A and B are shown apart, each in its own frame.
Chain A
Amino acid sequence: MRGFRVFLGKEFQEIFRTWRIFILPSIMVAVGLLSPVLAKIMPDIIGSAASAQPGVVIELPAPTTMDAYLTFSKNLFQIVTIAVVIAMAGSIVGERKNGTAILMLTKPLSREGFVLAKVLSNWALLLGSTVVGGVACWAVTQAFFANEFVDRFVAMTALWVLLAALFVAAVAFFSVVLKSQSGAAGAGLGLFLAMTILSGWAPARDFSPAGLVSLGNRLLTGQEAAVLWPVVTAAAVAIACVAATAALFKRQEI
């Protein structure tokens, strides 16, 4: 894959020198910082809302570390996943639309190298953003609550990274198939919805990537969670998506 390393270097430069460095990391840091804060103040918010109603008394238990991590988990698996799908949908198709791909692909840069550099740099951005957001969440949680369940928190976050990585690969594939950023984002969101629905069905939850959508919270709360098949199948589907994207992109006219 001649040109791959050079083009990957350009991708990393682009992340640090354009808006890309702000979008996903900002969302992750915001979610990381606000999730424990929200868990901390939620009983007060509900209590003050209830006290405005005469005769209504709501007793809520004191928030815990687990509440903070569960809030983070809920935000990761919903808001941030949708943000990842939308933010990454234009990665390949954007270069086609802007005409930048033409100048790159008429040089000794293989189409496979082009696709792989795109996906790998997006995966790296995803991982870096998650680490920053996760550390932010952990730090604020320590400030408000007890230092516990860190291993479960890390396992849940790792599971989400795999799910998000799958979506990065899937939207790359959709963008090559549909040749449209909005189309790729729409297809990615459709996939997210389908996986969310399927995660409620035991066979899909236990033996397909759909399981990743619901297993995070089970890991976090210490419930029994059979993660092997969802992890293996998600990794396999992500790799298959990248391979299919490269193969399809190689056959297409630019």
Chain B
Amino acid sequence: MTAAIEIKGLTKKYGDTVSLDGIDLTVQEGSIFGFLGPNGAGKTTTLRILTGLARPTSGTAKVFGYDVTKGTNEVRSMMGFLPDVPGYYEWMTADEYLRLAGKLFGVRGDTLESRVQSLLELSGLDKTTTKVGGYSRGMRQRLGVAQALISAPRVLFLDEPTSALDPIGRKDVLDMITALKGKATVFFSTHILTDIERVCDTVAILDAGRVVEQATIAELKAKRGTRRIVVEVESGAAVLAADLAAEQWAGDCSREGSTIRCMVGDLVAARRRVPQLIADHGLALVRMNDEEPTLEDVFVGLVGGVV
């Protein structure tokens, strides 16, 4: 596989504020790459540099070998971009906007018309005749994805494409992204963990301008995630929770009614010890199982904050 995006030592400073602090990233061609981080981590700044809208203070960023800081048409010709809040010419209809976008990429004639029609259908805007100025936020985002795809780009940059969308709008946009798997490289910035888990195969976690981890989601969970054990008893959960928290293999424990969840360092030791404790207290076990770490567990572990 070849690298679609290569970022080395990318730094961006605004006065004394360091927005990006020497980040390194490699995104393989054809992957759906999740760029995850809390608000203000530097995701949009990275995307602005990759799309030629901003210049780095130092470092390099290349898309298919082309230096994006040169702002050349070669780079722009192979990419599609959806900013977090896309701005359109409000007097245009969706098909007019897509035609304008297509013509800027040099797409003409029957090819343009067929792409416009298929993208209007894909985005669910084919039956809409109103001007863009009257669109809802969801319709604007879907048009944003459609215009980013009009040139059949090799790489697609999406900045928070699902934030502020209702569940149906979010599903539609995620379905559109999923459909691109293998056809284009998607660089997808978000702070919504479930979106990343649903559509991305590789993820980088950005915090305070630094990449704290880059791996596939499975690798990340295996490497960084701590398993969790869940125990439910009929009564006496408070006493059991206190005993579990005191065990050496246990991390953070929480109790919700009669259900106890404990982070576990040594799963085998936990599986042996928990039934003993339940028996010692004479409690009735309802269920006991262990859970896979979620991306949220990994994220909180790495970033140490709330998403």
B73 touches A108 (CB 8 A): yes
Distance between A42 CB and nearest chain B CB, rounded to angstroms: 41
Further pairs besides A6-B104, A107-B101: 10, Cβ < 8 Å: A2-B73, A2-B106, A99-B85, A100-B89, A102-B83, A102-B87, A103-B83, A103-B86, A103-B87, A109-B104
- A107 contacts which chain B residues (CB < 8 A)? 76, 101, 104-105, 151
Can you list the 9 inter-chain pairs with the closest CB atoms, starting with the nearest?
A: A99-B87, A107-B104, A106-B81, A100-B87, A108-B73, A253-B54, A6-B103, A254-B53, A98-B87
Chain A contact-residue range equals: 20 to 34
Question: Scoring A residues 9 to 43 as 1 if CB is less than 8 Å from chain B, else 0, what string do you get?
Answer: 01000100110000000000000000000000000
Which of B51, B54, B55, B88 is A100 in contact with, Cβ under 8 Å? Answer: B88
Whole-angstrom CA separation of A101 from B86 in the bound complex: 10
Which of A14, A106, A250 is B89 in contact with, Cβ under 8 Å? Answer: A14
B53 touches A108 (CB 8 A): no
A99 touches B86 (CB 8 A): yes
Chain B contact-residue range equals: 20 to 34
B91 touches A14 (CB 8 A): yes
- B105 contacts which chain A residues (CB < 8 A)? 107-108
Within 8 A of A (CB), among B71-99: 71, 73, 76-77, 79, 81, 83, 85-89, 91
Whole-angstrom CA separation of A17 from B97 in the bound complex: 14
A104 touches B53 (CB 8 A): no
Within 8 A of A (CB), among B86-137: 86-89, 91, 100-101, 103-106
Q: Quick check: is A3 within 8 A (CB to CB) of the other chain?
A: yes
- B103 contacts which chain A residues (CB < 8 A)? 6
Whole-angstrom CA separation of A106 from B144 in the bound complex: 13
Q: List 17 A-B contacts (CB under 8 A).
A: A6-B103, A6-B104, A7-B104, A14-B91, A99-B87, A102-B53, A102-B81, A102-B83, A102-B87, A103-B86, A104-B104, A106-B51, A106-B52, A108-B104, A108-B106, A253-B54, A254-B54
